[in-house]
Amino acid sequence: MLTQFKTIALIGKYASPQMEVTLPQLADYLRALGHEVLIAHNTADQLGLLHQATAELSEIGERADLAVVLGGDGTMLSIARMLVAHDVPLVGVNQGRLGFLTDVPVETMQENLTAILAGEYVTEQRLLLHTEIVRAGETIFSACAFNDVVVSKGGMGRLIEFEAVIDGEFVYSQRSDGLVIATPTGSTAYALSAGGPILHPTLEAFVLVPICAHTLAARPIVVNSHALVELHLVHADDASVHFDGQRQWDIQIGDVVRISRAPKKITLLHPKNYSYYKTLREKLYWGKKL
């Protein structure tokens, strides 16, 4: 069965004990359907599959029509950042815990992928954040985040102080443990734990959520996705910026953390019966007795 997705890349979470069985089975199944299958080189190396067709992630972006990510949401976050520049749609097979992004159950992955490859799927485009850290007028570091950018105190545990400026206008000065700037995708992650709202993933917006602010008046703010958010670090003994909880960069007094939407979006493909609200009900246990 040949579709618009002729070449399919498989990318797996290295440390998952199930991957040794799941990924080779899926690769054989897709080949039997007539697709060319590329296994991410690091994944193949970990699973002893280097005798099969492999590709580096940079090559996958150029060669694959579709990438299937097997693992948890953390794996999907990492792969999405790497492939966003190449416009490769992603399908997530859940072998983790929550599965907000990897929403295809491993038990039904062949059935669901067969339908998706036949054109029966729901397409969603999700925005990412682009961040620059500016010191003395020069950009010293930049990175993208799919879930969130978090400016926070470091290991010393002392509050940091910063000023928030949105689209050139001073908004507030705050002393706190930090601030979460989350995309709609990331609104169900750290931002939710810090008391932020849930944003539907298709909204053109992102949310600023204070972390343990030293005031009772601090509240989350939802801003347009085209806004430019600048955080000026006024005081900190130890502070850093975290990207999806997977990368970090230390900052110092006088630094400016400049956050805007990334130029490209990630395309996710879901099964035809996908419902974001159903996902929320299941993952957040809405209406269930605990």
Residue 272 has pLDDT above 70, yes or no: yes
Residue 2 has pLDDT above 70, yes or no: no
- List where CATH 2.60.200.30 sits in the chain: 129-261
Query: 28-41 pLDDT, tens per residue?
Result: 999 999 999 999 99
Q: How confident is the model at residue 15 (pLDDT cuts 50, 70, 90)?
A: low
**pTM reported for the whole predicted model:** 0.93
Question: Which of these ranges, 50-64, 158-172, 195-209, 275-289, has the smallest mean pLDDT?
Answer: 275-289
Looking at residues 254-275, what average pLDDT do you find?
97
CA dist list (Å): 128 to 28, 74, 94, 153, 203? 33, 15, 21, 23, 12
Residue 237: φ, ψ to 5°: -85, -25
CATH of domain 7-127+265-283: 3.40.50.10330
pLDDT at position 255? 98
CA dist list (Å): 276 to 103, 200, 203, 256, 261? 10, 8, 13, 35, 22
Residue 1 has pLDDT above 50, yes or no: no
Query: 103-145 pLDDT, tens per residue?
Result: 999 999 999 999 999 999 999 999 999 999 999 999 999 999 9
Residue 287 has pLDDT above 90, yes or no: no
- List where CATH 3.40.50.10330 sits in the chain: 7-127+265-283
Residue 289 has pLDDT above 90, yes or no: no
Looking at residues 40-58, what average pLDDT do you find?
92
Q: How confident is the model at residue 157 (pLDDT cuts 50, 70, 90)?
A: confident
Residue scoring higher pLDDT (155 or 224):
224
Q: Which residues are catalytic?
A: 73
One CATH from 3.40.50.1370, 3.90.105.10, 1.10.3720.10, 2.60.200.30 for 129-261: 2.60.200.30
Give per-residue burial for 26-44: e unless 16+ CB within 10 Å, then b: bbeebeebebebbbbbebb
